[in-house]
Amino acid sequence: MKSDNMQFTTIFQNKLQRALRYPSLYLHYVKLEIAGMMEYKLDFAVGIFAMFLANGVIPLILIWVIFTQVDSINGWTFPQLLLLNGLSTLVFGVWHTFASGGVRHIERGIQMGELDRVLIRPANTLIQMIAERFDEDGIGDVIGGFLKIGLASSMLSLVWSPYNILLILIFVAGGFLILFAIILAAACLAFWTTRVHSFLNIITNFSRFTEYPIEIYHPAIIFLLTFILPFAFVNYYPTQIFIGKGMHIEWAFYTPVVGIILFIIAYAIWKVGLKSYTSTGS
């Protein structure tokens, strides 16, 4: 009995030790990636700037133009909508930076037999996949998100107290897991069929609904965005906490829970996919 316990403890310790090296492993990959990028310093800055313009500045101007014509959309004022939109940009930026490239590469990785290289290494396959494709362009999205959130909160006199900062960190982490899980699960389709690229695009396209308050949509779409492809937990429910209005404010706190549960499911699908993976043989 006692030795069983001992054994369990050592196994657990081993597992923990293995898990703990992943942050540093990931950082190591990122360092390599950035070192490579630094060869082309201009590209590095230019990519970030392009994303900042495309997803930060331009949507900001366009939303503002709409509000030069009307005072509110379904009771949402300009800064409130900007906060909603900015939170979405921020979470997508984090996703874009850290995981999107790797997950989108799964299809090609399978087709070209590149997965083999990752599989034979003694480290988690998924972490290797995403670490190899760290994408600094996403930093532009993150800055764009901060711009919108910053502008919105100054207009709303929203104070970033430690509590609020903690909240938004939890929401960003939860939202990141939701995006990661949904798109990973969709990308895993590539284990059983080819060309999932456009399928991924349409799934990602559904997230565009969350650029505006979801209560403007048909109830069926609200249902879809809450229970089936729960993108609404990425920004809609969390935003309500900060502006104190909307439907089901308390659902904001489900964001991290939804994220963790979805991620466990998606990870299980990924594992099943890997099991059924047979190399293309090249």
Q: Supply the minimum distance, in Å, between the C-beta of residue 223 and another protein.
A: 14
- Whole-Å CA distances, 55 to 104, 153, 207: 20, 18, 14
For another protein, which is the closer residue by CB, 45 or 257? 45
The stretch near another protein (CB under 8 A) out of 44-52, 156-164, 248-256, 259-267 is 44-52
Per-residue DSSP letter, 215: G
Q: Supply the minimum distance, in Å, between the C-beta of residue 198 and another protein.
A: 4
Q: Supply the minimum distance, in Å, between the C-beta of residue 61 and another protein.
A: 6
Q: Using an 8 Å Cβ cutoff, are 132 and 102 in contact?
A: yes
Q: Which residue has the tokens 């969709």?
A: 186
∠ at Cα 252 (250, 253), nearest 5°?
85
**String of contacts with another protein for each residue 66-85, x by CB under 8 A:** x-xxxxxxxx----------
For another protein, which is the closer residue by CB, 60 or 126? 60
Q: Supply the minimum distance, in Å, between the C-beta of residue 209 and another protein.
A: 6
Q: What are phi and psi of 76, to 5 degrees?
A: -90, 125
CA distance 221 to 224: 5
Give the contacts of 165 (CB within 8 A, at least 6 positions apart).
none
**Residue 53 touching another protein (CB under 8 A):** yes
Give the contacts of 79 (CB within 8 A, at least 6 positions apart).
151, 152, 153, 155, 156
Q: Which of residues 194-223 bind another protein (CB under 8 A)?
A: 195, 197-199, 201-202, 205-206, 208-209, 211-212, 216-218, 221
Q: Which residues bind another protein (CB under 8 A)?
A: 40, 42-43, 46-47, 49-50, 53-54, 58, 61-62, 65-66, 68-75, 195, 197-199, 201-202, 205-206, 208-209, 211-212, 216-218, 221
